[in-house]
Chains A and B, each alone.
Chain A
Amino acid sequence: MVDFGGWDMPVQYPAGTIEEHLRTRNHAGLFDVSHMGEIDVRGADAIAVVNFLVSNDATKLVDGQAQYSALTTPAGTVVDDLLVYRFSADRLLLVVNAGTTEKDWEWISSHRQAGAADLKNVSSDYCQLALQGPDALGILQKLTDVPLADIKYYHFTEGTVDGVPSIISRTGYTGEDGFEVYAAADKGEQIWNKMLDAGNFGSDTGVLPCGLAARNTLRLESSMALYGHEIDENTTLLEANLGWICKLNKGDFIGREALAKQKETGVARRLVGFEVTERGIARDGQEVLIDGQRAGTVTSGSPAPYLKKNIGMAYVPTESASEGQVIEIDVRGRLVSARIVKTPFYKRER
Chain B
Amino acid sequence: MSNIPDDLHYSKDHEWVRVDGNIAIVGITDYAQDSLGDVVYVELPKAGDEFAANESFGSVESVKAVSEVFSPVSGEIVGTNETLADAPEKVNSDPYGDGWMIRVQMSNAGEVDSMLTAAEYEDFTKAETE
Question: Which of A's residues lie within 8 Å of B, judged by CB?
Answer: 11-12, 16-19, 21, 213, 216-217, 279-281, 283, 302-303, 305, 332
Contacts of B61 in A (CB 8 A): 281, 303
With A281-B40, A281-B41 given, is the CB distance from A213 to B63 under 8 Å? yes
Contact status A302-B66, CB under 8 Å: no
Q: Which residues of A contact B40 (CB under 8 A)?
A: 18, 281, 303
28 chain-A/chain-B pairs, Cβ below 8 angstroms: A11-B37, A12-B37, A12-B64, A16-B37, A16-B38, A17-B37, A17-B63, A18-B38, A18-B40, A18-B63, A19-B38, A213-B37, A213-B63, A217-B63, A279-B41, A279-B85, A280-B41, A281-B41, A281-B61, A281-B66, A283-B66, A302-B63, A302-B64, A303-B41, A303-B61, A303-B63, A305-B63, A332-B59
In the A-B complex, list the 6 residue pairs whose CB atoms are closest, starting with the nearest.
A213-B64, A17-B63, A18-B38, A303-B40, A16-B38, A281-B61
Closest residue on chain A to residue B64 by CB atoms: A213
Tally of contacts, chain A with chain B, CB under 8 A:
38
Contacts of B63 in A (CB 8 A): 17-18, 21, 213, 217, 302-303, 305
Minimum C-beta distance from B52 to chain A (A) = 19
B107 CB within 8 Å of chain A = no
B92 to chain A, nearest CB (A): 8
Q: Which residue of B lies closest to A17 (CB)?
A: B63
Q: Are B64 and A11 in contact (CB under 8 A)?
A: yes
B81 sits at the interface (CB 8 A): no
User: B67 → chain A, closest Cβ, in Å?
Assistant: 12
User: Which B48-75 residues sit within 8 Å CB-CB of chain A?
Assistant: 59, 61-64, 66
**B41 / chain A contacts, CB cutoff of 8 Å:** 279-281, 303
Closest B residue by C-beta to A212: B64
Known: A213-B37, A305-B63, A332-B66. 19 other contacts (CB 8 A): A12-B64, A16-B37, A16-B38, A17-B37, A17-B63, A17-B64, A18-B40, A19-B38, A21-B63, A213-B63, A217-B63, A279-B41, A280-B41, A281-B40, A283-B66, A302-B63, A302-B64, A303-B63, A332-B59
Closest Cβ neighbor of A12 among chain B residues:
B37
A-contact bits for B1-35, CB 8 A (1 contact / 0 none): 00000000000000000000000000000000000
Q: How far is the CB of B43 from chain A (nearest CB, A)?
A: 8
Chain B residues lying within 8 Å of A280, measured Cβ to Cβ, are 41
- Closest residue of chain B to A334 (Cβ to Cβ) is B43
A17, B62: Cβ atoms under 8 Å? yes
Cα of A16 to Cα of B40 in the assembled complex, Å: 12
Find chain A residues with CB under 8 A from B64 CB.
11-12, 17, 213, 216, 302
Residue of B nearest to A21 (CB): B63
- Within the complex, the shortest CB–CB distance from B105 to chain A, in Å, comes to 25
Q: Residues of B contacting A332 with CB < 8 Å?
A: 59, 66
Q: How far is the CA of A35 from the CA of B38 in the complex (A)?
A: 25
B37 neighbours in A (Cβ, 8 Å): 11-12, 16-17, 213
In the complex, A283→B61 CA distance in Å? 10
In the complex, chain B residues whose CB is within 8 Å of the CB of A11 = 37, 64
Whether A17 pairs with B66 at a CB distance below 8 angstroms is no
Q: Cβ of A213: which chain B residues have Cβ within 8 Å of it?
A: 37, 63-64
- Residue with the highest number of chain A CB atoms closer than 10 Å, among B38, B40, B62, B66: B38
